[in-house]
Amino acid sequence: MILKKISLVIFFTIFFLRGFAQQQVHVKYYHVRSAIATLYEDLYIKDNNVISIQDSVINVNSAGSSTISAIRKSNRVITKNYFISKLKNEANIKDFFFTGISKDSEYFVHDEVAKPIWKIDETKTKKILGYNCIKATSNFRGSQVTAYFTKELPYSAGPFKFFGLPGLILDIREDNNNYNIWKAEKIELTVDPKINFAPTLKDYPKMNMKEFIEMKEGSQNKEMDAILNKMPSGTKTESQYRNIRLGLEKVFEWETK
């Protein structure tokens, strides 16, 4: 009887300590940003706070040698990108605050992201870094994506602006594409106490997502017009690349209303 009581005490102690340890987590993702560029993104969760920090160093493969030269010649200081949100949110829309860049200026942008409609397939599973993961699919702002999440880390979060699953996303990628990929390479059940979940960005101009996209794409269109105006007479045509979004976010909520 005494041995049984001791065993129960040990069991509940281990259960409690395991649950306590999992109140925080750090995941390092390898992010294939484009056909030529990759970087790392670190996701930190502690209590109700979530921050994802994209590396300031973009690795460019040999196919992008001209891009490497342009980066080396540029005097612009490359800084980290932040994605800040809260873990617990009962609403179908989550507030994300992130740093965005347009015309060599940085902004602090407020984005209201609708909860993706996920289709979970419990029959499709795989192991990622020792965790049992389940397949889920969705359409995220015009892009079909496939994710693998684990209930063993019960946080409704992931890299970039992904959330809404009953577990942490360890792998997510755009379907039928060789970029727009995030895959976990390291998981730690601790968070460096130096991580600041509310970095001071008070010097950045503030705007909402719609304003940011309109400003960024308006600037890109002006640059394209300037290029077209310099083309020889008879070859000037409307660019097929105008307003084509190469990133994962291809259609925003205000554009479908």
**pLDDT tens digits along 43-89:** 999 999 999 999 876 777 655 443 443 333 334 445 689 999 999 87
Helices (H) and strands (E) in the chain, counts: 3, 13
Find the mean pLDDT for residues 7-22: 43
Percentage of the chain lying above the pLDDT 70 cut = 74
The better pLDDT of the pair 33, 60 is held by 33
What per-residue confidence (pLDDT) applies to 125?
98
Q: Residue 170: left (phi > 0), alpha (psi -120 to 50), or beta?
A: alpha
Following DSSP, what letter does each residue of 176-236 receive, concatenated? Answer: T-SSSEEEEEEEESS--TT--SS---TTSPEEEHHHHHHHHHHHHHHHHHHHHHTSPTT--
The model's confidence at residue 248, banded by pLDDT at 50, 70 and 90, is very high
Handedness of CA 162, 163, 164, 166 (dihedral sign): positive
Average pLDDT, the chain: 82
Residues, the chain = 257
Over residues 144-159, the pLDDT tens digits come to 999 999 999 999 999 9
22, 189 contact by CB (below 8 A): yes
What per-residue confidence (pLDDT) applies to 211?
94
Tokens of 12: 């509940």
With b meaning 16 or more CB within 10 Å and e meaning fewer, what string describes 215-229? beeeeeeeeeeeeee
Tokens of 173: 């990628």
What per-residue confidence (pLDDT) applies to 244?
74
The better pLDDT of the pair 113, 19 is held by 113
Q: Which H or E run contains 15?
A: helix 2-21
What per-residue confidence (pLDDT) applies to 2?
52
Find the mean pLDDT for residues 35-42: 91
What per-residue confidence (pLDDT) applies to 11?
41
Q: Residue 142: left (phi > 0), alpha (psi -120 to 50), or beta?
A: left
Over residues 80-130, the pLDDT tens digits come to 899 999 998 777 899 999 998 877 788 999 999 999 999 999 999 999 999
